[in-house]
Amino acid sequence: MAKGIRVRHSRSCRSRRGGRCDCTPSYEAQVWDATEQKRLRRTFDNPAEAKNWHRDAVIALRRGHQVTGKSNATLKAVSEDFLALAASGAILNRSGDAYKPSAVRSYRQTLTRHVWPSLGDEPIRDVSRADLQQLVDDAVAAGVPAASVTTFITPLRAIFKREISRDRLTVNPTADLQMPAVRGGRDRIADPTEGAQLLAALSDADRPIWSTAMYAGLRRGEIRALRHGCIDLAAGVIRVECGWDDIEGEIPTKNRGNRKVPIPDDLRGHLATVEGPAGALAFGDRPNESFDPKKLTARADDAWKAAGLTRITLHECRHTYASLMIAAGVNAKTLSTYMGHANITITLDKYGHLFPGNEDEAAGLLNAYLKRSIRPLPRTRDAHSGRSRIRSGTPV
């Protein structure tokens, strides 16, 4: 066995009497803490986890870090603390922004449903990779969709990452989990003609909302929080300054990225019909009240069904906006800014397949560029053959 790892057999195992092992052994990892002058031990179900803990513990001790937390806090208790801090804005997400209220609620819901019933009462330092892998495997066997499995592992990744950053844990049990593949289809995108037909079928009151999603690419929450004063028809821009949460109401926009989005002519006509005080919400069933997404969608579905059109969602309208901008020749960086993405990588990951890039199109673009850019090379006469030839070298 590797150094620092000891195999532990049950008391009734034959190996204790010189025979062959007939139990399921555990594996104890040990390290010496010179600062505390004591030996630290952890027991695991398999040798790989024991080796990982031993390796990480040795590194942590060399750096002067604490290997194990001094409290017996349970996974649920630590999770509750994490959620409370995330809700207050004291903990930031991967982008360095405060967690949205809806994200914190989603974390709590998925932890309550999938994680706490089986592991909530376990001390967090005793939760192993095998425990979490079993949690994933059981969910898959029970028919839980792959995307939902990922959803309940995501908060655990953030929780354990924070515990490690605070030197309360050394091993991250969420690392290297075997997760089910999430295979989603392409998002629905309407072409320009279909988009115009979908908007034309709507009522005069609802059309500006849907056209703002389709021709400006605003998120649903950003449309709900949009105020009249942020629609500047004279300057031809929409100022996106806030988002909207179903419970909290107005919140900072995603990624805290206030931005200006240009207003195309097809959107300008729809927005010109929306009037009200500068500080009031632009869209709602009642003055200065945000619209109800469920009621809005139900009205639109009825209108499209009557017109024989295929329904679309507000988020799919946002995807449609991206496709229209790409087709119009807008570059990825500019599109990323208009859509409020944290960085251009998100834009390329989501919409890269829509940018010009297939072999025939790429070759055609390069051919056209070369024809426009390369000047005719001067011809000279060969002294030996008397024939003219093109002078070698790069034209200037």
Write out pLDDT tens, residues 80-118.
989 998 988 888 888 778 888 989 999 999 999 999 999
The verdict on 321 and 196 lying in the same domain is yes
For the chain, give the number of residues.
Answer: 396
- 392, pLDDT greater than 70: no
Say how many C-beta atoms besides its own lie within 10 A of residue 331's C-beta. Answer: 12
Q: Are 218 and 318 in contact (CB under 8 A)?
A: yes
CA 214 to chain centre: 22
Q: What is the model's pLDDT at position 185?
A: 59
Range with lowest mean pLDDT among 65-79, 139-153, 251-265, 378-392: 378-392
Measured between alpha carbons, how far is residue 198 from residues 76, 192, 268, 271, 309 in Å?
A: 47, 10, 17, 17, 7
State whether residue 335 is helix, strand or coil: helix
The verdict on 196 and 319 lying in the same domain is yes
For the residues 302-323, what does the mean pLDDT come to? 94
Residue of 215, 204, 211 whose CA lies nearest to 299? 204
| Boundary of a domain, candidates 120, 147, 165 | 165
**pLDDT, tens digit, 9 for 90 and up, residues 329-376:** 888 899 999 998 878 887 887 887 776 655 566 666 677 777 777 777
The verdict on 108 and 21 lying in the same domain is no
**pLDDT, tens digit, 9 for 90 and up, residues 7-54:** 988 888 888 888 889 888 888 888 888 877 788 888 888 888 788 778
Cα separation, 49 vs 25, whole angstroms: 14
The verdict on 57 and 80 lying in the same domain is no
In a domain, 330, yes or no: no
In a domain, 133, yes or no: yes
Q: Is residue 104 classed exposed, middle or buried when 0-12, 13-18 and 19+ CB atoms within 10 A define those classes? A: buried
In a domain, 46, yes or no: yes
Q: What is the model's pLDDT at position 67?
A: 62
CATH of the domain at 110: 1.10.150.130
**pLDDT, tens digit, 9 for 90 and up, residues 241-262:** 998 988 888 888 876 668 999 9
The verdict on 196 and 314 lying in the same domain is yes
Contacts of 248 (CB under 8 A, 6+ apart): 101
In a domain, 224, yes or no: yes
Cα separation, 273 vs 285, whole angstroms: 15
Question: Phi and psi (nearest 5°) for 229?
Answer: -65, -15
Cα separation, 154 vs 140, whole angstroms: 16
Question: If you ran DSSP here, which 8-state letter would residue 172 be given?
Answer: -
The verdict on 285 and 209 lying in the same domain is yes
Domains identified in the chain, total number: 3
The verdict on 283 and 202 lying in the same domain is yes
CATH of the domain at 217: 1.10.443.10
Cα separation, 128 vs 363, whole angstroms: 53
In a domain, 70, yes or no: no
The verdict on 222 and 320 lying in the same domain is yes
Its pTM stands at 0.62
The verdict on 320 and 200 lying in the same domain is yes
Cα separation, 21 vs 214, whole angstroms: 67
The verdict on 157 and 232 lying in the same domain is no
For the residues 159-165, what does the mean pLDDT come to? 88
Range with lowest mean pLDDT among 109-118, 227-236, 285-294: 285-294
State whether residue 97 is helix, strand or coil: coil
Residue of 293, 315, 301, 295 whose CA lies nearest to 245? 293
State whether residue 368 is helix, strand or coil: helix
Cα separation, 18 vs 23, whole angstroms: 14
Percent of the chain with pLDDT strictly greater than 70: 87
The verdict on 209 and 309 lying in the same domain is yes
Question: If you ran DSSP here, which 8-state letter would residue 343 be given?
Answer: S
| Boundary of a domain, candidates 300, 325, 350 | 325
Say how many C-beta atoms besides its own lie within 10 A of residue 169's C-beta. Answer: 24
Bigger pLDDT: 204 or 71? 204
Residue of 193, 198, 211 whose CA lies nearest to 311? 198
- Structure-block tokens of residue 259: 């931005």
Bigger pLDDT: 52 or 379? 52
For the residues 205-211, what does the mean pLDDT come to? 95
The verdict on 224 and 317 lying in the same domain is yes
In a domain, 248, yes or no: yes
Q: Are 111 and 78 in contact (CB under 8 A)?
A: no
Range with lowest mean pLDDT among 186-190, 200-204, 222-226, 391-395: 391-395
Bigger pLDDT: 26 or 202? 202
Measured between alpha carbons, how far is residue 314 from residues 173, 294, 296 in Å?
A: 38, 11, 10
- 277, pLDDT greater than 80: yes
Residue type, 345: T
In a domain, 395, yes or no: no
In a domain, 67, yes or no: no
Residue of 124, 127, 107 whose CA lies nearest to 177? 127
Cα separation, 383 vs 354, whole angstroms: 54
Round the average pLDDT of the chain to a whole number and report it: 84
Bigger pLDDT: 147 or 203? 203
- Structure-block tokens of residue 154: 């995501």
Strand partners, 98: 92
Walk across the sheet containing 5-8 and list its strands.
5-8, 26-33, 38-44
Range with lowest mean pLDDT among 12-21, 155-164, 220-229: 12-21
Q: What is the model's pLDDT at position 186?
A: 64
Confidence of residue 132 (pLDDT cuts 50, 70, 90): very high
- Residue 153's domain comprises 75-165
Cα separation, 312 vs 315, whole angstroms: 8
- 383, pLDDT greater than 60: no
